[in-house]
Amino acid sequence: MALLQISEPGKKSINPKVKLAVGIDLGTTNSLISSGYLGDVEIFPDSSGHVLLPSVVQYRQDAQPIVGEKAKMEILVDPENTVTSIKRLMGLSASETQNLPQFEQYTFDSSRGDESPVIITRAGRKDPIQISADILSGLLARIHSAIDEDIEGAVITVPAYFNDAQRQQTKEAANLIGLSVLRLINEPTAAAVAYGLDSNEDGNTIVFDLGGGTFDVSLLCLKRGVFEVLATGGDTSLGGDDFDYVLSDWMSERVFDHGQATLKERGELIAYANSVKHELSLHNSVSLSFNEWRGTLDSVEFATICEPYIKRMINACRRVLRDASLSKEEIDNIVLVGGSTRMPIIREAVESFFEKPPLTNIDPDKVVAMGAGLQAEVLVGNKSASDFLLLDVNPLSLGIETMGELVEKIIPRNTTIPVAKAQEFTTFKDGQTSMVVHVVQGERELVSDCRSLAKFELGGIPKMVAGAAKIRVTFQVDADGLLSVVAEELSTKKKSEVQVKPSFGLSANAVEEILNSSHKNAKLDLDVRALREAQIEAKQLIDAIKAAKEGDGDLLEESDSGRIESLVHQLSEKIPNGTSQEIREMTELLNQITSDFAASRMDRYVGQALKGEAIDEIDQ
């Protein structure tokens, strides 16, 4: 007898092999959660149908915290225990929070210093990780109320400018509530993925993100399946709320004598201004009514009132283009993110500046969470990696060998891939015309303790003094884990490159052994690196002094020359056997003693350069 699966009418069919994964937009003002478990990726609402969860937590004594809309209603009533905008404290030290006016209503633990800040509430001491974890719990409750399955993992979005500390604390917040993080991805990348731009041909995309409290603009470049953030900008003190404030100020001048209003009236007027702003997104003109005052406002006058803020946003876009050395004509797509981009005055300003319409067919509030949900479906195995850009991580750090057989890490381990990063290096010796680039993989500080991946040579470097040449080394890992390394001498544009597969022959056990070795030898490695760096610095100084004495030794008194020669001899003997501290101290002493000689040489060459020049020509 065959068994039939019976479904309730109206219920979506569920593939029993599908795993439950979620995408999370953990925002400064609002947060959202998405999943593709029930079919297409969708945003999960609360019991009232609201998809936005205000990123607000109110702490109560001997009770569970309140998260979201109900907590938001308590901001004016209980400001000391109702925490907002906690995302702005992620990665900061306690001392760095002292000059942030938006947090002045909270009581911080003043003894924390360089440690993570702690807010003292009636429910106890709360740091940014705990508060973020409570917001995540509020989001997960939406999933659990709709689906009775364990969550396999989450993709969480972060701003493109988030540093390692901020990203790590985001992961820790998820881990605190038992949520496995499949990947952290940049918010602009998630928005681009939601629009399917990752499957396009190579191109440049502007992601214009105007939230309630912050404004970010990012320029992404898609090359060979890799999203690279070329430039970021924006204003952390500018958001949709500022449009409410400036509109309420405009109305206050008309409603109250000399614009004077009580704190309560001010709060009511700001809330009313917010509703007017939303209405102007639907209609060209709005009738106004507050207390006994009546008036009208059209979209043209609203644009005039908000003009200073719009100018700030467009100027940020202009700076991002300048930083990336691109023109408006080279931008292929513009993606709008954040509910405040619904305002027609914003969309018109963006279209006018970039001279092309932005993409608007996905709800700007939802687009980042949608992109995160799409990535979660791929990473958990529900969809083929060929359907979307697969964002994986490199298991071990990638870098190159520098002087002293030291490793300079360019892409740290656990960096999300695809990724591209560049760093500039220079020559070690005068007249050096070529450079061998040795690509290595691993977590140790010495090349001999790491895995050699490839070697190639860059030639054609112009003859210059040591340190004058600029060689940019670019590491790019594509979606398939293929590493491309390009070395370019910037003045001549001479290039050389190699491609390798860092994961080739690298099993999970091998990765584990490499990591364990790095942990066991961490202290030893740091000491060895410090010693090698001190030795290199000392050798460079000795070489520089010898070259200077050969060319300008006549500037030295015989006694000074003898003293310098004696110290050079002592330092040379100390380099092979001394400690890093001993070598650095002697190097510093030699630097001090030769400072007058260096100044005399500078005077000589400046004098020679200016000889025969007229004063007015020098001034020019």
Residues noted as catalytic? 25, 87, 187, 209
Neighbours of 190 (CB within 10 A): 27
According to DSSP, the residues that pair with 289 across neighbouring strands are 294
Instruction: Write down the H helix ranges in 459-521.
Output: 508-520
Query: Do 181 and 173 form a contact (C-beta atoms < 8 A)?
Result: no
Integer Cα distance of 102 and 240 in angstroms: 16
Query: Do 251 and 123 form a contact (C-beta atoms < 8 A)?
Result: no
DSSP state, residue 426: -
Candidates 139, 130, 138; CA nearest to 32 is 139
Integer Cα distance of 101 and 103 in angstroms: 5
Integer Cα distance of 162 and 142 in angstroms: 27
Q: Phi, psi at residue 185, to the nearest 5°?
A: -130, 155
Integer Cα distance of 573 and 393 in angstroms: 46
DSSP state, residue 413: T
DSSP state, residue 451: E
> In angstroms, what is the C-alpha Rg of the chain?
30
Integer Cα distance of 319 and 77 in angstroms: 41
Helices 344-354 and 307-323 pack at an angle, to 10 degrees, of 40
The strand pair at 203-210 and 333-337 is best described as parallel
Three-state secondary structure of 555-597? HCCHHHHHHHHHHHHHHHHHHHHCCHHHHHHHHHHHHHHCHHH
Candidates 431, 348, 464, 443; CA nearest to 399 is 443
According to DSSP, the residues that pair with 220 across neighbouring strands are 205, 229
- Our separate counts of H helices and E strands in the chain read 16, 27
Integer Cα distance of 318 and 208 in angstroms: 12
